[in-house]
Amino acid sequence: MKKIKRSQQFEVVVTLHDKNFICPPKESQRNAVVNRALKEFVGDLNILNEQTKRFVPGATSHEFKIDRAQKVMEVEEIMEDWQIPLMQEMAKTIANNGGDILEIGFGRGISAEMIIEHDIDTYTGIECNDAIIETFFKPFKQKHSNKNIKIIHGLWQDTIDGLDLFDGILFHTYPLNDDEYMQYVNGSITFAEHFFNHAAKHLKTGGSFTYFSNEIDSLSREHQQLLLKHFSSFSIKLIPLKIPDDVQDTWWADSIVLIKAIK
Ligand SMILES: C[S@@+](CC[C@H](N)C(=O)[O-])C[C@H]1O[C@@H](n2cnc3c(N)ncnc32)[C@H](O)[C@@H]1O
């Protein structure tokens, strides 16, 4: 089977070589589903054409030759300020019903400050970087000594199994090295994908998990299917961004999608 979609700007050709690939009972059904897949792809290309006109150039380097697990960083290297409105929204998403909250990646502690403004019972962070613990977590803990706050010092991969269940989980780390970049950024539909099963395992029933996606204004079919493997439902919120022209991070678009997945 061969299908072609043409416009003035592009041509998309899909050739199915194997007659057993997409093989429903009727040929008309095969036609219908392949046509729909092609139509979706063409729709995506047209939307990307519009969205990329508004991209900023950015100053991104995708190489993490120096392992970042223990790197001592400037604040904007840990997290750039354009992400602060996202932190506000993520904190609200998981903490406005209170309970026990887990945050993966303490960073500058900006989202942590926003989480504990809500009426929660406990805050637990997991953070691997010694300098982040000294510079950002210790003063945070001291400032809020009346609150039930703790940090688990280590990689979440090595420590999360020892933790119990939570009402809300916020995931905001970054790739620590080239291997993680290749696997979790290049090789996944969304960076948080490698954490999905851990989030589902450590949430109470009805609890919420939040992260932001490296898609621009919606979730792809593959992303939605992955979410529904681990969670009972999800919702998304489009967050408009003021993105600087020389953004260092791997993001160039003027919006981003926040996901709230419910166990
Ligand atoms: C982008 S920052 C988090 C910013 C934070 N949301 C804020 O508002 O300041 C990411 C943090 O995740 C930590 N991190 C990255 N990978 C980790 C891992 N595998 N385990 C634990 N912490 C990790 C980094 O050291 C860094 O402090």
pLDDT tens-digit map of 185-239: 889 999 999 999 999 999 999 999 999 998 999 999 999 999 999 999 999 999 9
The answer to the question of residue 59 being in a domain is: no
Do 124 and 33 fall into the same domain?
A: no
Which pTM does this prediction carry?
Answer: 0.95
Residues 85 and 129 in one domain: yes
User: What range does the domain containing 86 cover?
Assistant: 75-262
Q: Per-residue pLDDT tens for 106-144? A: 999 999 999 999 999 999 999 999 999 999 999 999 999
Nearest CA to ligand 1 atom 26: 107
Distance separating alpha carbons of residues 104 and 194, to the nearest angstrom: 13
Tokens (6 digits) for 51: 């969205």
Strands 11-15 and 2-6: what pairing?
A: antiparallel
Contact between 122 and 148 (Cβ < 8 Å): yes
Is residue 46 scored above 70 in pLDDT?
Answer: yes
Residue 130 lies in a domain: yes
**Residue 135: DSSP 8-state:** I
pLDDT at 61: 67
The answer to the question of residue 23 being in a domain is yes
111 and 190 housed in the same domain = yes
Q: What percent of the chain stands above pLDDT 90?
A: 90
Structural domain includes residue 227: yes
CB atoms within 10 A of CB 2: 9
Residues 48 and 79 in one domain: no
Confidence of residue 101 (pLDDT cuts 50, 70, 90): very high
Q: Residue 54 has what pLDDT?
A: 95
Q: How far is CA 119 from CA 91, 99, 116, 123, 233, in A?
A: 12, 8, 7, 11, 25
The answer to whether residues 41 and 91 belong to one domain is no
Q: Please indicate, yes or no, whether residues 18 and 140 belong to a single structural domain of this protein.
A: no
Mean pLDDT over 78-88 rounds to 96
Same domain, 93 and 38: no
**How many structural domains is the chain composed of?**
2
169 and 201 co-located in one domain: yes
The answer as to whether 210 is a domain residue is yes
With a cut of 80, say whether residue 60 has pLDDT above it.
no
Tell me, yes or no, whether 70 lies in a domain.
no
**98 and 14 fall within a common domain:** no
Residue 62 lies in a domain: no
Within 6 A (CB) of ligand 1 lie 78-79, 87, 105-111, 126-129, 132, 155-157, 172-174, 176
How confident is the model at residue 200, as a pLDDT?
Answer: 98
Q: Domain holding 98: CATH number? A: 3.40.50.150
Same domain? 11 vs 95: no
Q: What is the pLDDT of residue 63?
A: 66
Convert the pLDDT of each residue in 163-183 to its tens digit.
999 999 999 999 999 899 999
- Mutational test site, ligand 1, from 67, 71, 78, 103, max ligand atoms within 8 Å of CB: 78
pLDDT for residue 65 is more than 80: no
Ligand 1 atom showing the smallest separation from residue 112 Cα: 8
Do residue 10 and residue 140 come from a single domain? Answer: no
Mean pLDDT, all residues of the chain = 95
Q: Is pLDDT above 90 for 250?
A: no
* 99 assigned to some structural domain: yes
In this structure, are 80 and 32 located in the same domain?
A: no
Cα 245 to middle of ligand 1, angstroms:
24
Tell me the three state secondary structure of residue 140: helix
What atom in ligand 1 is closest to the CA of residue 174? 15
Average pLDDT over every residue of 67-89? 93
* Run of H or E including 199: helix 196-201
Q: Which residues pair with 150 in a beta bridge?
A: 124
Minimum-distance ligand 1 atom for the alpha carbon of 110: 8
> Residue 10, SS3?
coil
